[in-house]
Amino acid sequence: MEFLFLLVLMAALYVIFLTGYSFWIKLSFALIYTFIILITAYSLMLENRSAQATLLWIYVLVFIPVLGYLFYLYSGQLYLKGYLFYHKRRNDRDEWERVMKSESSPDLSFLQDNQLEFAKFADRVAFSSLNSKSRTTILKNGDETFSKIKEELAKAEEYIHMEYYIFRSDRLGKEIMDILIEKAKAGVEVLFTFDSAGSIHLSNEDIKAMQAAGIQVYPFSPLKYGFFNQKFNFRNHRKIIVIDGKVGFVGGLNVGIEYLGEDPDFGFWRDTHMMLEGEAVHTLHTVFLLDWQYVSGDNLLGDYEPPVTEAEDEWNGAVQVVASGPDTAEGVMSDLYYTMMSSAKQSIWIATPYFVPNESIRTALRIAASKGIQVRIMVPEINDGFLTQYATRSYFAELLRCGAEIYSYQKGFMHQKIIIVDGNLASLGTANMDMRSFHLNFEVNVFMLGSTSIRDLVAHYEADMKDSVRIMPVEYYKRGIWHRTKESFARMFSGVL
């Protein structure tokens, strides 16, 4: 229907301005054009957005012919109306309910007040459950991460399941593909899915080589099918590896030499990944298998048993793996971030490459800083895009006024996505603090409550501060009009960053 309207709008403008038809024919097409715009505006009004957002889109529709309507379509309208990914969302919900019914409730008596407050909320809004028999290991930067990944891949005996946003056919990508091919030839089941936009530099030759070795390879949301169903704007940003149900990997690092710091344009690359063991691996595996069912049509959810988790002294704290995106409740990751920050009593530390927070998170940070809670936000000095860099900086003023500390990471490009609250509650995963991660991308994060790994995150954060420069309010307010202009311009695009 929406694309039919778009074609009619284009035809109407053509008839009105580029043909010699009679006045009455042109008037008829003008009325049709006006009717479609009015219907669209009425549909906008029924969505009950904020008054500012509704009026903005109406202005765009009225004053930017055809292109305004195209922008409207690709801003996520079908997703907002529940059409996009409807079947995946409904199927995933049913499967998560089945998985959760089969799991026993963990003992959470060891949690502190702020942790318990978060755990209760997460239990209500997230599909997955909290696991108390899990082990987390923090992996710092590419060298440590990919060395561990290749080590664990080499140990695989039954299966390797892998899902990436960016997977390149460069030196690192080929090293990992060689291991996958070797394992597949040895009889290990290898399933591999990649985002078709993020992994555009994964060559067809490498895909065919993997398939020839027996690896099942599927792209997520192929671009050639995405234009007319509006799905090309919704990307799978998840990075998941599950090996034999015993070990899982998730975090900020994709597969490419830039993540090893070998790209001269980026230089040193600061990132954080995680290795999971125990119950949480089964939850992460469920996220993968639901995505695999979507791309391949194969339902493998009942084919893999949860790992046996006997009592161990090394299980520490509680862990919850949470998937978010168009296949879950809208805005769930944003709500979890907000709840973390609202529960803070002492400190909120954030490290993110893209800081484009929505209003609720900005409010939580302003209130926390105004109450005397230590709020630290770390972003890279140089970003990988003009809009993301200056949109990020446009949010500094309101937070600096409330007493928040903002740090600019100088050593290279910082890509990690970390939140640490009170030193005992933390999030690590794929979701940035921006609108795209909150509303458009498929993401997955790991929330840690009382885990000893949080101590590692704290230590790494403090080390990163030594490679950062604090942005002082007086210096920031003295920035020139040209910088303020770029920030204000970039901020207009916050809704799609």
List active site positions.
Answer: 237, 239, 244, 415, 417, 422
> SS3 letters for 4-59?
HHHHHHHHHHHHHHHCCCCHHHHHHHHHHHHHHHHHHHHHHHHCCCCHHHHHHHHH
A 10 A CB-CB count for 417 gives: 24
Residue tagged 């995405």 (tokens): 226
Question: How many separate helices (H) and strands (E) can be counted in the chain?
Answer: 20, 17
**CB distance 348 to 373 below 8 Å:** yes
* 3-state class percentages of the chain: helix first, strand second, coil last, to nearest 5: 50, 20, 30
**CB distance 422 to 388 below 8 Å:** no
A 10 A CB-CB count for 49 gives: 14
Residues paired with 273 in a beta bridge: 139, 251
User: Read out DSSP for 258-279?
Assistant: GGGT--TTT-SEE-EEEEEEEH
Distance CA 406, CA 349 (A): 10
Lookup: tokens for 211: 């398939």
**CB distance 80 to 69 below 8 Å:** no
CA distances from 285 to 201, 289, 373 (A): 26, 6, 37
State residue 193 phi and psi, 5-degree precision.
-130, 145
Residue length of the chain: 497
- Amino acid making up residue 432: N
267: nearest Cα among 415, 370, 371? 415
With H, G, I as helix, E, B as strand and everything else as coil, classify residue 402: coil
Distance CA 319, CA 450 (A): 9
DSSP classification of residue 257:
G
Distance CA 363, CA 282 (A): 35
- Give the Cα-Cα-Cα angle 253, 255, 259 (nearest 5 degrees): 55
Lookup: tokens for 346: 């002492």
Contacts of 158 (CB under 8 A, 6+ apart): 188, 189, 244, 245
Lookup: tokens for 105: 């409730």
Distance CA 335, CA 103 (A): 24
